[in-house]
């Protein structure tokens, strides 16, 4: 099985309309309803968003102006509105029958489980918010969160939001070095972690990584570390700096009113990879993000009051932020959190969770689907999956074969599939079917969400014809758009708004993806057009991996490319030239792979290291990655090679292949 190619998806003609049973009870019931909303939003976006903001959220104080674009590309939404997302996710449900409804159902790894009702979650969050305050965390202070998939991760996020301290969650699979860089950039005042977490049948240490990140006063802004006891292994606690979560939580008051935040106050920073430099801190603010994640969760996942909803992402990624924590809880839904991951030793793990809790809505990544296909149909078939009524995918293009398997084997042919295209930067889902309204085509994310003006353009910003490939752009701002790169406004402007220059004074948001639109107006996203890789749905910058490699004493130069992979979508392949007398060997290749894990984390481990005497470069010294991509994939080198400085480099690389 492979990633979709232009040829394969051009031939994809199957269409799956929603069943009338599904549409009848859906929030958005027909294509006409969708079109009406879409047209309304396009005609008057401010009125569209204002009406929803008023209807769907609680505001302590209403805004004066819906949208300010006087200083593009720095947009502001719901100006002077006062709101708190933790209030919208918790307090407002307590005066309704949702008070004792399950908010979070947690399935932990070696058979642990826990359910928190809205009332219980509210209490935990208030207590923990008071713990943060007692350690001196104030509105505006950044808090690092480096945790496993346990309910305390959501409690920590909501507690930060409650007191107005922006969180910066760092995926628990990142290394101490990667954590340190992010804590330094965010100037975090406090870090919340756990002794360890479970990852694929093993305990991964977390607190020791925090210790390493903070060693030698590398992050002077960090004053305190809070530690959840999860796995009980021996860890060291530094007196004065480190505190046990459960000890402080025990005595903390459960009264903590939610701070009235300005709509544009920062809610969180989340680091993501780009094509240049270090990961950038994507900044999201409060009101617009709350609204957009709320309404997309409601309409795209068609949330109904009794649904059990499960998104398998990790809270360390944007999907976890928007569609495990904030979107579902703002809607008063029951959201499942799972500490495990697909693995050969437990090939039925996802299906067990669905059966155990009667999951109705299931949202996962194509890479997981492909891994399960490989493990065999017998595993899902041995479980009762009849509770499912809607399926979703996110993170990378889904190949039509995987889509069909998901539809038939998991969805029993009856569940609509929402293939949702979006990014850390967009905050919420941008292009997606609305499941009761939009017929789906395997491999297409279909149509933009109401209020989202997506287009495919060339590098000058001119729209391209149907079925012609181009760059995916968004032509009008939306409430949950990222506000800036933390501490680097120029990078924000350059990366997203100037790559394709403003057209007739209008700014186009450049997503970094290539796509085409077909004759029905359906979008087919092909993948990144920049030097960003997508490995198992995780975003990785080639530059990041290259910097990690060249920080090893044996490496002179490194060039990293993606190679198509059956399960992961892409795999990291590194071409490396060596310093001085170092000689290529398998041991050195393994040492370099380990070095990348050490510097970034296991998700960046190269699948292959190819030693070479020289890298193919242009006369101006630019590495020709295109050629390396061809070589890594075992393809003939295609396209123009006339700019190569030294053709013999290419010949040698071919021979070595």
Residues lying near ligand PRX in the complex (CB under 6 A) are found at: 272, 318-319, 394-397, 419-424, 445, 511-513, 525, 527-528, 534, 539
Q: Which residues pair with 107 in a beta bridge?
A: 113, 338
- Helix (H) / strand (E) element for 71: namely strand 65-71
Contact 420, 393 (CB under 8 A): yes
Q: List own/partner pairs for 238-243 with CB under 8 A and 24 or more apart.
A: 238/211, 242/207, 243/135
In the complex with ligand PRX, the residue whose CB is nearer, 23 or 322, is 322
Q: Closer CB to ligand PRX, residue 186 or residue 525?
A: 525
Q: How far is the CB of 233 from ligand PRX (least distance, A)?
A: 31
Q: Are strands 74-79 and 65-71 parallel, antiparallel or unpaired?
A: antiparallel
Minimum CB distance to ligand PRX smaller for 109 or for 419? 419
Contact between residue 84 and residue 315 where contact means Cβ atoms under 8 Å apart: no
Give 84 or 534: the residue with its C-beta nearer to ligand PRX: 534
Whether 537 and 395 have beta carbons less than 8 Å apart is answered as yes
Count of alpha carbons within 13 angstroms of residue 626, beta-carbon side: 10
**Could you tell me where the DSSP H helices lie in 140-241?**
151-163, 176-186, 207-214
In the bound state with ligand PRX, the residue whose beta carbon lies nearer, of 318 and 603, is: 318
* Angle separating helix axes 151-163 and 118-134, nearest 10 degrees: 60
The distance of closest approach from Cβ of residue 311 to ligand PRX in the complex, given in angstroms and rounded to an integer, is 11
CB atoms within 10 A of CB 114: 13
Nearer to ligand PRX, 358 or 564 (CB): 564
- Beta carbon of residue 16, minimum distance to ligand PRX (angstroms, whole number): 16
- Shortest distance in whole angstroms from residue 459 CB to ligand PRX: 17
Q: How far is the CB of 363 from ligand PRX (least distance, A)?
A: 11
Q: Which is nearer to ligand PRX, 9 or 176 (CB)?
A: 9
Is the link from the previous residue into 73 a cis peptide, with omega within 30 of 0? Answer: yes
Which residue lies nearer to ligand PRX by CB, 173 or 395? 395
Cα angle: 129, vertex 130, 132; to 5 degrees: 65
- For residue 638, the SS3 value is coil
Kindly state the smallest distance separating residue 27's Cβ from ligand PRX, in Å.
Answer: 21
- Minimum CB separation from ligand PRX for residue 609, in Å? 25
- Looking at the Cβ atoms of 38 and 403, the one nearer to ligand PRX is 403
**Residue 33 DSSP class:** H
Q: Which is nearer to ligand PRX, 128 or 523 (CB)?
A: 523
Report in angstroms how near the CB of residue 180 gets to ligand PRX at its nearest: 21
Identify the residue whose tokens are 């949330």: 303
CB of 422 to ligand PRX, least distance (A): 5
CA distances from 121 to 151, 157, 172, 334 (A): 9, 12, 22, 12
Residue with Cβ nearer ligand PRX (287 or 527): 527
Kindly state the tokens that stand for 29: 């019931």
Are 356 and 320 in contact by the 8 Å Cβ rule? The answer is: no
CA distance 506 to 463: 14
Please tell me whether residue 91 adopts helix, strand or coil conformation: helix
CB of residue 410 vs ligand PRX: minimum separation in angstroms? 17
At its nearest, how many Å lie between ligand PRX and the CB of residue 420?
5
- C-alpha R_g of the chain: 24
Q: For ligand PRX, give the closer residue by CB, 222 or 313.
A: 313
H or E element, residue 53: helix 45-56
Q: To the nearest whole angstrom, how small is the minimum distance from the Cβ of residue 50 to ligand PRX?
A: 26
Angle at CA of residue 50, ends 47 and 51, nearest 5°: 85
- For residue 448, give the nearest of 463, 429, 468 by alpha carbon: 429
| Nearer residue to ligand PRX within complex by CB, 249 or 399 | 399
Nearest to 332 by CA among 377, 366, 297, 364: 297
Strand (E) or helix (H) holding 465: none
- Both tokens of 390, joined, read 């809607």
Q: How far is the CB of 114 from ligand PRX (least distance, A)?
A: 26
Q: How far apart are CA 616 and CA 76, in angstroms?
A: 45
């Amino acid at each position: 099985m492979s990633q979709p190619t232009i040829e394969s998806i051009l031939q994809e003609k199957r269409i799956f309309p929603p069943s009338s049973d599904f549409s009848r009870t859906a929030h958005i019931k027909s294509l006409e309803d969708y079109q009406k909303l879409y047209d309304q939003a396009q005609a008057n976006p401010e009125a569209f968003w204002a009406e929803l903001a008023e209807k769907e959220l609680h505001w302590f104080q209403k805004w004066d102006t819906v949208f300010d674009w006087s200083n593009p590309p720095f947009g502001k939404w719901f100006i002077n509105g006062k709101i708190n997302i933790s209030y919208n996710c918790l307090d407002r449900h307590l005066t309704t029958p949702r008070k004792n409804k399950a908010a979070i159902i947690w399935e932990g790894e070696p058979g642990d489980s826990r359910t928190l009702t809205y009332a219980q979650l509210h209490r935990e969050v208030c207590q923990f918010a008071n713990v943060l305050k007692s350690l001196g965390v104030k509105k505006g202070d950044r808090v690092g969160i480096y945790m496993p998939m346990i309910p305390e991760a959501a409690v920590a996020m909501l507690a930060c939001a409650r007191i107005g301290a922006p969180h910066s969650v760092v995926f628990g699979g990142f290394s101490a070095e990667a954590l340190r860089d992010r804590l330094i950039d965010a100037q975090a005042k406090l870090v919340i972690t756990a002794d360890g977490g479970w990852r694929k049948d093993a305990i991964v240490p977390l607190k020791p990584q925090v210790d390493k990140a903070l060693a030698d006063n590398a992050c002077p802004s960090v004053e305190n570390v809070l530690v959840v006891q999860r796995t009980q292994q021996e860890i060291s606690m530094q007196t004065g700096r480190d505190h046990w979560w459960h000890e402080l939580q025990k005595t903390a008051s459960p009264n903590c009113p939610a701070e009235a935040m300005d709509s544009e106050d920062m809610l969180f920073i989340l680091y993501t990879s780009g094509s240049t430099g270090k990961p950038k801190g994507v900044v999201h603010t409060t009101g617009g993000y709350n609204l957009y994640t709320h309404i997309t969760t409601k309409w795209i996942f068609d949330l109904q009051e009794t649904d059990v909803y499960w998104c398998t992402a990790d809270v360390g990624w944007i999907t976890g932020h928007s569609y495990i924590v904030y979107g579902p809880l703002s809607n008063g839904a029951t959201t499942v959190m799972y500490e495990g991951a697909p693995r050969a030793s437990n090939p039925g793990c996802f299906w067990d969770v669905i059966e155990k809790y009667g999951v109705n809505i299931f949202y996962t990544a194509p890479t997981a689907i492909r891994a399960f296909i490989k493990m065999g149909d017998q595993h899902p078939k041995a479980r009762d999956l009849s509770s499912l009524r809607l399926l979703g995918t996110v993170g990378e293009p889904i190949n039509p074969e995987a889509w069909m398997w998901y539809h038939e084997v998991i969805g029993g042919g009856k569940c609509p599939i929402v293939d949702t295209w979006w990014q850390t930067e967009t905050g919420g889902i941008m292009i997606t079917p609305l499941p009761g309204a939009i017929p789906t085509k395997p491999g297409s994310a279909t149509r933009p969400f109401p209020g989202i003006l997506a287009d495919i353009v060339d590098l000058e910003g001119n729209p391209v014809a149907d079925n012609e490939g181009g760059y995916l752009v968004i032509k009008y701002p939306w409430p949950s758009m990222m506000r800036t790169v933390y501490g680097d406004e120029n990078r924000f402007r350059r990366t997203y708004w100037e790559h394709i220059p403003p057209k007739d004074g209008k700014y186009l948001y450049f997503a970094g993806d290539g796509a085409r639109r077909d004759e029905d107006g359906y979008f087919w996203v092909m993948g990144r057009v920049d030097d960003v890789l997508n490995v198992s749905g995780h975003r990785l910058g080639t530059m990041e991996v290259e910097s990690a490699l060249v920080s090893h004493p044996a490496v002179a130069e490194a060039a990293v490319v993606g190679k198509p992979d059956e399960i992961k979508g892409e795999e990291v392949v590194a071409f490396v030239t060596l310093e001085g007398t170092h000689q290529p060997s398998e041991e050195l290749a393994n040492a370099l792979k380990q070095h990348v894990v050490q510097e970034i984390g296991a998700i960046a481990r190269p699948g292959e290291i190819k030693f070479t005497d020289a890298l193919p470069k242009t006369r101006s010294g630019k590495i020709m990655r295109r050629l390396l991509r061809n070589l890594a994939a075992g393809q003939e080198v295609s396209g123009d090679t006339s700019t190569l400085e030294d053709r013999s480099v290419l010949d040698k690389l071919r021979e070595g292949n």
